[in-house]
Chain A
Amino acid sequence: MLGRYFGLTRYAQSEVVTGNSSEGLLRVMQVTKVFQMGEVTLEALKDVSLDIHEGEFLVILGPSGSGKSTLLNLIGGLDRPTVGHVLYRGMDLSEFSYRNLTWYRREVIGFVFQFYNLIGNLTAIENVMLAANLVPSPLDPFEVLEKVGLWERANSFPSQMSGGEQQRVAIARALVKNPPLLLCDEPTGALDDVTGRQVLRLLLDLCREMKKTVVLITHNTAIAQMADRVVRLRSGRIVEVFQQPHPLPPERIQW
Chain B
Amino acid sequence: MFGLLHRKLLRELAASGMTVLAIVLVTMVGIACFVAMQSAHRNLSWARGYYYSRGRMADFWISVKKLPREELFRLKNIPGIVEIQPRIRFPVTVDLPDQNKPLAGVALSLPDVLRPTLNQIEILRGGYFTGTRPNEVIVNDVFAQAHGLRVGQKITLNLGRRREDLTIVGTAFSCEFVYPLGPAAIVPDREGFGIFYLKESFAQDVYDMAGAANELVGRLKPSGRETVRTILAEVERRIEEYGVISTIPLDEYPSNTFLSQEIEGLRTFAFIIPAVFLVVAAIIVNIVMIRRIEQQRIIIGTLKALGMDDRVIGWHVLEYALVVGALGGVLGCGLGQWLAGAMTQLYRRFYEFPALPSRWYPDLHVEAVALAILAAGAGGWQGMRRSLALEPASAMRPAAPPLGGSVFLERFRLLWGALTPPWRIVVRSLFRHPFRTVAGLLTGILATAVMSMILSLSVGIDYLMIFHFEWVYRSDATLVLKSEQNDSVLEEVRRLPAVRWVEPILAVPVTLRYRAREKLTTITGLRQDRLLTAPRDRVGHAIAIPPVGFVISRQLAKELGLAAGDDVEWRPVKGRREWYCSPIAAVADDYVGTAVYANIAYLDRILGEECPVNRVQLSLDENPQQRTRFFQELKRLAGIEEVLNHADMKGNLEKTLLRNIWVILSIEIGFAGTLFFGALLSAGVIAVEERRREFAALYVTGYTPLQIGGLLAREHLFILLIGLIMGLPLGYVLSDYVVGTYQSEVLRMPLLFPPRVWLLTAFWGTVFAAASHLVVETMIWRTAWLEAIKANE
**Chain A interface residues (CB < 8 Å from chain B):** 4-8, 11-12, 73, 76, 78-79, 98, 102-107, 109, 111, 113, 115, 117, 119-122, 126, 129-131, 133-135, 173, 177
A131 contact set on B, CB distance < 8 A: 306
Say whether B307 contacts A109, CB under 8 Å.
Answer: yes
User: CA A111 – CA B393 in complex, angstroms?
Assistant: 12
Can you add 19 more A-B contacts, CB < 8 Å, to A111-B302, A126-B7, A133-B1?
A5-B6, A6-B2, A6-B3, A7-B3, A11-B2, A78-B391, A78-B392, A102-B308, A105-B392, A106-B308, A109-B307, A111-B305, A115-B792, A117-B396, A121-B8, A122-B4, A122-B8, A134-B306, A177-B306
Q: Classify the secondary structure of B's interface with A.
A: helix
Whether B1 contacts A79 by the Cβ 8 Å rule is no
Q: Is the CB of B6 within 8 A of A121?
A: no
Chain A residues lying within 8 Å of B298, measured Cβ to Cβ, are 115, 117
Q: List 17 A-B contacts (CB under 8 A).
A: A7-B2, A79-B392, A102-B307, A102-B308, A102-B309, A105-B304, A106-B306, A106-B307, A115-B298, A115-B792, A117-B302, A117-B396, A120-B299, A122-B4, A131-B306, A133-B1, A177-B306
Q: Is B12 an interface residue (CB 8 A)?
A: yes
Q: Which residue of A lies closest to B394 (CB)?
A: A79
Chain B contacts to A: CB under 8 angstroms:
1-8, 11-12, 15, 298-299, 301-302, 304-310, 391-393, 396, 792
A136 and B103 alpha carbons, distance in the complex (Å): 86
| A122 to chain B: closest residue by CB | B8
Q: In the bound complex, how far is the Cα of B2 from the Cα of A98, in angstroms?
A: 21
Contact yes or no, B307 A119, CB < 8 A: no
Question: Given the complex, which residues of B lie within 8 Å of A103, measured CB to CB?
Answer: 307
Residue from the list A8, A12, A98 in contact with B1, Cβ < 8 A = A12
| In contact, A79 and B393 (Cβ under 8 angstroms) | yes
A111 to chain B, nearest CB (A): 5
Instruction: Note all chain A residues with C-beta closer than 8 A to B4.
Output: 7, 122, 126, 129-130, 133
Interface centre among B4, B5, B7 (most CB of A within 10 A): B4
Q: A113-B396, A117-B299, A121-B12 are in contact. Are A107 and B5 (CB under 8 A)?
A: no
- Please state if A119 and B8 are interface contacts (CB–CB under 8 Å): yes
Would A105 and B2 count as touching, CB distance under 8 A?
Answer: no
The answer to whether A111 and B7 have CB atoms under 8 Å apart is no
**Cβ–Cβ contact B3 & A105, under 8 A:** no
Contacting pair A121 B308 (CB below 8 A): no
Which A residues touch B304, using CB under 8 A? 78, 102, 105
Chain B positions within 8 Å of A106 at CB level: 306-308
Q: Which of chain B's residues have a CB closer than 8 A to the CB of A78?
A: 304-305, 391-393
Q: If the complex has contacts A111-B305, A122-B7, are A130 and B391 also in contact, measured as CB distance less than 8 A?
A: no
Q: Which residues of A contact B309 (CB under 8 A)?
A: 102
Q: Which chain B positions have C-beta within 8 A of A117?
A: 298-299, 301-302, 396
Contact between B299 and A119 (Cβ–Cβ < 8 Å)? yes
Q: Is the CB of A6 within 8 A of B302?
A: no
**Minimal Cβ-Cβ distance residue in B for A126:** B4
- B2 to chain A: which residues have CB within 8 Å? 4-7, 11
**B302 CB, nearest partner CB in chain A, Å:** 4
How many angstroms between the C-alpha atoms of A130 and B652 in the bound complex?
A: 69
Cα–Cα distance between A13 and B675 once the two chains are bound (Å): 45
Q: Looking at the complex, which one of A7, A135, A177 makes contact with B7 (CB distance below 8 Å)?
A: A7
What is the chain A residue whose CB lies nearest that of B397? A69
In the A-B complex, the 6 residue pairs with the smallest Cβ-Cβ separation, listed nearest first, are A7-B3, A106-B307, A105-B307, A121-B11, A133-B1, A78-B393
**Complex formed: what's the CA distance from A131 to B312 in Å?**
13
Residues in A neighbouring B7, C-beta threshold 8 A: 7, 121-122, 126
Query: Counting chain A CB atoms within 10 Å of each CB, which of B301, B309, B310 scores highest?
Result: B309
Contacts of A4 in B (CB 8 A): 2-3
Report chain B residues within 8 Å CB of A98.
310
Chain B residue at smallest Cβ distance from A121: B11
Docked complex Cα distance between A102 and B305 (Å)? 8
User: Which B residues lie within 8 Å of A79 (CB)?
Assistant: 391-393
B305 touches A76 (CB 8 A): yes
Known: A78-B393, A113-B396, A117-B299. A173 touches B306 (CB 8 A): yes
Which of A98, A111, A173 lies at the interface centre, i.e. has the most chain B CB atoms within 10 A of its CB?
Answer: A111
Q: How far is the CA of A160 from the CA of B548 in the complex (A)?
A: 94
Query: With contacts A78-B391, A78-B393, A79-B393 known, is A134 near B307, CB below 8 A?
Result: yes
Residues of A within 8 A of B15 (CB): 121
Residues of chain B lying within 8 A (CB to CB) of residue A104: 307
